[in-house]
Chain A
């Protein structure tokens, strides 16, 4: 079974600074996808960034980037120039693509607070 671990339940960062959220996963598969989702206080889940395991290049989306270490099974999210609107719960997620039976497994999440 695949597991996703987010060991930090809460983090806080000053506005305009950089913060890194950690995520590790466990799998015996070699082809899979990794995601970070954001859940603001409205509770609407929003995709932040995604990474395919076969790609060595780390994904980036504007102020968001990942540090994907396949051998270490680590997938951390870096948020640069933090903004108040980044305050949310962040979930790391993992999917093995098997065609008909793909499903997403989530970590327990980390609550990020951005201080003004």
Chain B
């Protein structure tokens, strides 16, 4: 079945460590996104990528980095510069085109919960 796979589901990090969250999709979608979810804050956009080898900062990119070397993969690195990294992270993807064809409708992964010890 086509979908988005995020791993790991749970991750613990010590202060000062970098960690990388994996996001893989087999939907052949062009666009991929990373969102952060905190209680009472909704979903906030960290980074997004519309094509391979290109990505843009979202609203809260500081302390995070991404790469898009393959269409299927969009890993997110939470660096030690991120002051409050404990959160639930959601990866999503969407196809291009018109909404009526299903384009620009985001499909989400199951999420990764990061806790800083």
Binding site for B on A (CB under 8 A): 6, 9, 33, 35, 37, 42-47, 50, 52, 91, 95, 97, 99-109
Asked if B40 and A108 sit within 8 Å, CB to CB, the answer is yes
A selection of 20 A-B contacts at a CB cut-off of 8 Å is A6-B42, A33-B99, A35-B105, A37-B106, A42-B110, A43-B88, A44-B111, A45-B92, A45-B108, A47-B105, A50-B105, A52-B100, A100-B50, A102-B31, A102-B94, A103-B48, A103-B58, A104-B45, A105-B45, A108-B41
B interface majority secondary structure: strand
Bound Cα distance A96, B52 (Å): 21
Asked if A52 and B41 sit within 8 Å, CB to CB, the answer is no
Provide the residues of chain B in CB contact with A97, threshold 8 Å: 99, 104
* B116 in the interface (beta carbon within 8 A): no
Bound Cα distance A45, B93 (Å): 12
**Which 6 A/B pairs are nearest by Cβ-Cβ distance?**
A45-B108, A108-B42, A106-B43, A106-B42, A109-B42, A100-B50
Shortest CB-to-CB span from B47 to chain A, Å, is 10
Provide the residues of chain A in CB contact with B51, threshold 8 Å: 100
Asked if A104 and B33 sit within 8 Å, CB to CB, the answer is yes
Provide the residues of chain B in CB contact with A47, threshold 8 Å: 105-106
Asked if B56 and A91 sit within 8 Å, CB to CB, the answer is no
* B90 in the interface (beta carbon within 8 A): yes
Residue of A nearest to B108 (CB): A45
Provide the residues of chain B in CB contact with A103, threshold 8 Å: 33, 45, 48, 58
Which residues of B63-117 have CB atoms within 8 Å of chain A's CB atoms? Answer: 88, 90, 92, 94, 96, 99-100, 104-106, 108, 110-111
Residue of A nearest to B103 (CB): A97
Residue of A nearest to B30 (CB): A100
Contact among B43, B88, B99, B105 with A91 in the assembled complex (CB-CB below 8 Å)? B43
User: In the complex, which of the residues B48, B58, B90, B105 has the most CB atoms of chain A within 10 Å of its own CB atom?
Assistant: B105
